Chains A and B, each alone.
Chain A
Amino acid sequence: MSVPAPVRETSGARSRLDVEALRRDFPILSREVHGRPLVYLDNAATTQKPEAVISAGADMYRRSYGNIHRGVHLLSVEATDAYEEAREKVRAFVSAAEEREIVFVRGTTEGINLIAQTFGRQRIGEGDEVVVTALEHHSNIVPWQLLCEEKKAHLKVVPIDRTGEVRVEELERILTPRTRIVSVAHVSNALGTLLPVRRIVEIAHARGIPVAIDGAQAVPRLPVDVREIGCDFYAFSAHKMYGPTGIGVLYGRADLLDSMPPFQGGGDMISSVTFEKTTWNVLPYKFEAGTPDIAGAVGLGAAVDYISKIGIENVTAHEKDLLDYATGSLTGLPGLTVIGTAREKIGVLSFTLDGIHPHDIGTVLDREGIAIRTGHHCAQPVMQFFGIPATARASLAVYNTRGEIDALTEGIRKVQRMFH
């Protein structure tokens, strides 16, 4: 019944990364769980943090902290500089044209809600349509449902096939002159499907329809160039890309952001206030009411630096190698079904075991020190499509190794021995 300890190793000759060295950057990876070395495979939920990110926020509080954009004193100036420097790092990371197109928000969810509540409320009326896909996370469904309910508009869904690929050819049929926005994931959190976002943007733009992209799972795994994709909005979260919780990004094309009403009212988002009339601040501050998560933004900047130092292409290659390896290992297990077999896939391996509920899989693996996610992954329509209540999901990050995948495989064998 012994399970090989996760081997501390570089992960295969194909990888150009020294994963063993890189793992030492993440303090939590050296801890034990239930007396076992931690094998953290719940990275699509949230990633662990390198020391550089952990200390970035703390160092700010120790040395350079004040409120931003308002004080004449040195600490305020330093904090403002650090906050704006983080914005510039993010801009460069996703290749946006201008810093003012980078709006700091709490995360992907708030980014999509911002689009729905500003762009959406301004431009979507009764009988209009919003188009999403069948594999969306709830955060790219519910904000649109709320809007559609309020405006008596319709939410339309591009279907997926049995492999978990979006049937893009259906998109052309679904778009109508009443379609006001298309909002899609870049990478599915439940299935790992990589969507052909450039093609989706081409199809929508050919009809003058703007496109928003939920990039929460893509930004940590793939080079993202918002101008190459051509999208109008792109939202993502710091905590899924080795950064802190509570901070994320909404990229928006400057002309669109300019034409949109504010999201929240308060300080920092105004130019002048009288009781008769208030005028809005310039971009991006129009959308950043109140004191933002200053230290969080600085932590996000540190996360961007960290990924850039590794090289995002190396992250992509490493995760692809691991996903292939994991898929090969797991599909060899009797009674295991991989859910989501799209040709283009990254980072996520969802599966079910015959006769064993995902919760029981998760509980047994946890006692082996292996953290995976079990449940519907905030994508209940996906579960309904596949006719299952839940899946077990292993999701990858740059610090995972083949040895950890071996531990997972052995852990699943143990689950099967227990329940059969």
Chain B
Amino acid sequence: MGELRELYQEVILDHSKRPRNFGELAGANRRAEGYNPLCGDRETVFIRLEDDLLKDIGFRGAGCAISTASASMMTEVLKGKTRAQAEALFERFHDLITGRDGESEPGATELGKLTVFSGVREFPIRVKCATLPWHTLRAALAGEEATVSTELTEGPKAESGGA
């Protein structure tokens, strides 16, 4: 029960029920759709990029509590950040949820409220849920225009056979 509460912290449940920056972003000049083949979830990330700055960011889609909250909090945290800062945050975030954050050097980018996702490390199968919006963000930033679709490669992907 403790680990479940660590995973589904109140902040995460709140963002999953009331996602911030939700909906298509007017004036977006970057967008990408992310797809998690394990569960069929799709999320679209919209960015208004000015020079190197993420002036505004939003998302749309239906996913589990973890991926929805992750997308919601990602949009809050990244608004006003540079591309380099966004990349650095993703790396720290990834280390956090895969339990490798001990390796980060002191003084590295601060995760701030994203640390509520630390409970994901006890649920390796859910790492992909938390990183879906971040991979999608990366695809959107890399894309020159219009829609970029992405297939994720976070560990073994795709539905196992089974039936």
Residues of A within 8 A of B (CB): 1, 44-46, 109, 137, 139, 189, 216-217, 240, 355-360, 363-364, 367, 373-378, 380, 383, 389-390, 418-419
Contact = CB atoms under 8 A, between A and B. Distances in A.
Contacts of A363: 4, 7, 123, 125-126
A389 B41 contact: yes
Contact of B159 (A240, A356, A378): A378
B75 to A, nearest CB: 19
A240 B42 contact: no
A217 B163 CA distance: 9
B107 interface: no
A389 B4 contact: no
Contacts of B11: none
Q: How large is the interface on B (under 10, 10 to 19, 20 to 34, 35 or more residues)?
A: 20 to 34
Contact of A378 (B42, B63, B162): B162
Contacts of B38: 375
19 contacts: A44-B163, A45-B163, A46-B163, A137-B163, A217-B163, A357-B63, A358-B39, A359-B64, A359-B126, A360-B66, A363-B7, A364-B4, A376-B40, A377-B162, A377-B163, A380-B40, A383-B40, A389-B41, A418-B4
Nearest to A42: B162
Contacts of B126: 359, 363
Contacts of B90: none
Contacts of B8: 360, 418-419
A218 to B, nearest CB: 12
Nearest to A43: B163
A216 B162 CA distance: 10
Given A363-B126, A364-B4, A375-B39, A357 B64 contact: yes
Nearest to B4: A367
B161 A378 contact: yes
A418 B65 CA distance: 11
B54 to A, nearest CB: 27
Contacts of A46: 162-163
Given A360-B64, A360-B65, 6 more contacts: A217-B163, A359-B129, A377-B159, A377-B163, A389-B42, A419-B13
A221 B60 CA distance: 42
A139 B123 CA distance: 29
B40 A216 contact: no
Given A359-B129, A363-B123, A389-B41, A373 B62 contact: no
